[in-house]
Chains A and B, each alone.
Chain A
Amino acid sequence: MKMNLDKIKEIYGESAIIEIKNNIDDVVQNINTCISLHFRDVYDILENNPYIFLQPSDLFEEKIKSLIQKLGVEYIEKLEEDMTLWGEME
């Protein structure tokens, strides 16, 4: 699976790609955080919500742990059923 930058560019514009490149360290770390939390298609999450991945990695980690706590043990299922829940990470 590869990250579809073209999709991000299409939906959010060139500025989003520039932001990703400028914050690539955090983006990569946040992707790794999601992988470690066993999400199945992290790139899909990123393509749908690129701006949340731009956050500093420590803040991202804090927020995602808070979200997971809120959703409970079936957090993966719930988030896959309703991607709008990722909006709470904003």
Chain B
Amino acid sequence: MIEVTKLNSLLEQYNLHFTRQRKKELEEKTTYEEMKEVLQFLIEELNISPSNIEKCPSILYWNVEAIKDNYSFLASHQIYNYNVETCLHILSTPPRQLQETYEYVEQNMGLKALNKNTSILRVDKRRIQEIEKKYAPYLSTEALLAAATSEKDIFEIGNILLVCASYHIPVTASVFKQDAQELEKIIRICQENQIEITGSTFHKKSSEILEMKRICEKYDTRIVSSMFGCSLDNLRLILESCQKMGIDPIGGIFRLNPEQLEDLLSICEEQGLMDHLTPFNSSPEEMRRIIEVCNEYHVKVADSMFHKNAKEVEKIIIYCLKSGVPKEKITGSFFKKSQEELEAIFQMCDKYSLKKEGTVFYRTAEEIEQLALICQEKGIPIETSMFRKTPAEVLKIIETCQMKRIPAAGGVFNSTPKEIEKMVTLLKRNGIPFTPIIFQRSYEEAREIVSICNYYKIPITGNIFSRSVHEVEEIISICQKHNIKITGSFFQKCPEELEEIFSYCEANHKPISASMLSRKIEELGEIQEICEEYQVESAETMYKRKPNEVEEILLICREKNLKVSGSLFRKPPKETLDIINMCEKLGISPIGEVFKRTPEEIEKIYQIFTQLLQEKPMNNCFGKKPEEVEKIITLCLQNRIPVTGSIFRKSAEELQENIEFVRNRFGEEYLLPLVLVCDKEHLNKVMPYLSGKGCLKVLKNSASILRLTLEEIVERESYIHEINQPFIINNQINPIFGLSRKKFEEKKKEMLEKYARNR
């Protein structure tokens, strides 16, 4: 017996709280000294938390020596401390009984079963044997131990098994939480109300399940298995919170109490995770710890992190950083793997020079190696899109591409071999050059798009396949509505954006241009405003730049007193300014193709021209790099060819080939710019023809006839014969060869009409 005041002071000393009834039991069943000894052992020596003792108050009137004996036995026999702490009633088992049960279960069922069902240690071995003898064929190890722990008599256990058999319910540990009659009621209620029966269903009584059903109906949701671990009050509060926040009450949410849920929802809202509610796998405290870790290492929070605890997350982050992954590249995919798996994958990435990011984590280390070896064998570079498929699938795709003679790259790995074959056939049948963008669409979609384009006679380019069928139709309709000829570049934009741009252009009387399509509608407006402010006409190339860049460049023009021209917007402001400064330094106009080069290249080209030709460079030459310019000029000088603008349209290699061809075939006198810019095959057709007519020498004075194909030359020659004119007049090619196509057609028509009149 313990006197009340002494009991209260002892409870207060150890921060224990019991109901009046429990206190009454303690007063009667133990003494002050015995209880104090037990509390000293449990709380001061073993660090058992008071809350666990509150769940198992009967330990407080157990003999402390027996408790100590039991604890040392369990500690020396691999029962994890955690399990003992939450199953304190085990310690209040008679030691000999505990030891016998331990030995029996460990020998016959294994240590794993013991740690999973630690409560079995307070059950007499003979009870376990009795149940085993009668019902072993119908029970798994776990179910058997649960039946033994349940304190139900042998007949009741048999009745429970009969109920399970009648209703085809698997015999799991949880069926022994209820007696047979209650079990049957629960099963019937679930079947009548289409509630899925899982292990956790039997944690509740039938009356509670009916109440759950009413609560769920009120909140217009269905019963899910995780609700069965939740009290009815908490269920009500959680569903109300979910309704208020507009979120689906799913999964792990019911493991939390309402306060934890509020806490967790506010964390999710703060971190922008409301669309990814898998954080409900974590408690709010763990979530906060994980977020703190992320903030410490400046890593973005990802919802896959919440499948791990904060320590694991930190370990992975540290490992990634040590392995050279930049913190901004540490994304959710890293946390879908264990550290060991990550280490293996990183090793493969290092071995095969792969980036440690993105889709590579879809595969195991072994698979990554297999993929790398396949690519090596096939002689193709490894691509990140390959990691979405297994090595066997990738190999089949590569083989299909090789058979169909298309590059095994890019979007093709999002497809299957069969689909690839169908796509290639579709393209070939419709005379469409292969484009990898087509694999953004399924075969059916691509076929429909081709059909639509053929119907509207729209040339099919790659861009078209970046849009869905519906979008293609809409874009065509928008173009028709605005009376604009459809080109491939329009499919860069979605229909809504295109409509906005067209309407903007119409409202502002601007012709639509391809560069505009790289800007958002707000940016077009901003650029227009900037042009008005600076009182300049907008140029097409302005739209290659963002509004702030346009303004910067206009400021540069103002400062440098330059006329605003489209070329100035080819490059960002800083580079443009550097080029202008270089042009100023060299005394050349900052206009045109000079903006295709860097300042250093411009200076080099200038030096080449002044050294080799003693003149300033012409604008055309800036289309080529300095090394190429030097080669071209050197070739011209070596072969005494005048250096004109059009010469720089050919590469040095082409020019060299043409020079040798013309020199060997026709002679040095024909090494003229207008001849050398033509294709060899064309020269090989036309020049012999002219030579046959005795007219080749005229090329030296007027090579412009080479602008016509041989067929055109023959056609015009036929005409001049009709009108009795010679091929050469005053040592020049007949001017008929200099007419535009339209003019020539008109003259032919005149001639035919004249003949018709004279008949």
Contacts and interface: CB of A to CB of B under 8 A. Distances in A.
Given A44-B741, A51-B649, A57-B566, A11 B593 contact: no
B707 A83 contact: yes
B742 A56 contact: no
B707 A29 contact: no
Given A7-B709, A57-B566, A59-B619, A83 B592 contact: no
Name B's interface SS: helix
A81 B679 contact: no
A15 B650 CA distance: 7
B738 A84 contact: yes
Contacts, number: 113
A84 to B, nearest CB: 4
A65 interface: no
Given A57-B541, A80-B743, A84-B738, 11 more contacts: A10-B682, A13-B682, A15-B649, A24-B514, A28-B514, A29-B513, A40-B742, A48-B708, A56-B595, A57-B566, A58-B539
Interface of A: 7, 9-13, 15-16, 19, 24-25, 28-29, 32, 40-41, 44-45, 48-49, 51, 54-59, 62, 79-84, 87, 90
Interface in B710-759: 735, 738-743
Contact of B646 (A45, A59, A90): A90
Given A29-B540, A49-B707, A81-B735, A55 B593 contact: yes
B115 interface: no
Name A's interface SS: helix
A19 B654 CA distance: 14
Nearest to B733: A84
Given A41-B742, A80-B740, A12 B677 contact: yes
B598 interface: no
Contact of B654 (A13, A55, A81, A83): A13
A87 B645 CA distance: 10
B742 A44 contact: yes
Tell me which of A10, A11, A15, A57 has the highest count of chain B C-beta atoms within 10 A of its own C-beta.
Answer: A11
Contacts of A49: 707
A84 B592 CA distance: 23
Interface in B528-545: 539-541
A82 to B, nearest CB: 5
A58 B704 contact: no
B458 to A, nearest CB: 14
Contact of B649 (A19, A45, A82): A19
A51 to B, nearest CB: 5
Interface string B634-677: 00000000001110011100100000000000000000000001
Interface string B115-126: 000000000000
Contact of B515 (A25, A54, A82, A84): A25
Given A25-B514, A80-B742, A84-B702, A55 B682 contact: no
A22 to B, nearest CB: 9
B48 interface: no
B511 interface: yes
B704 A84 contact: yes
Contacts of B513: 25, 28-29
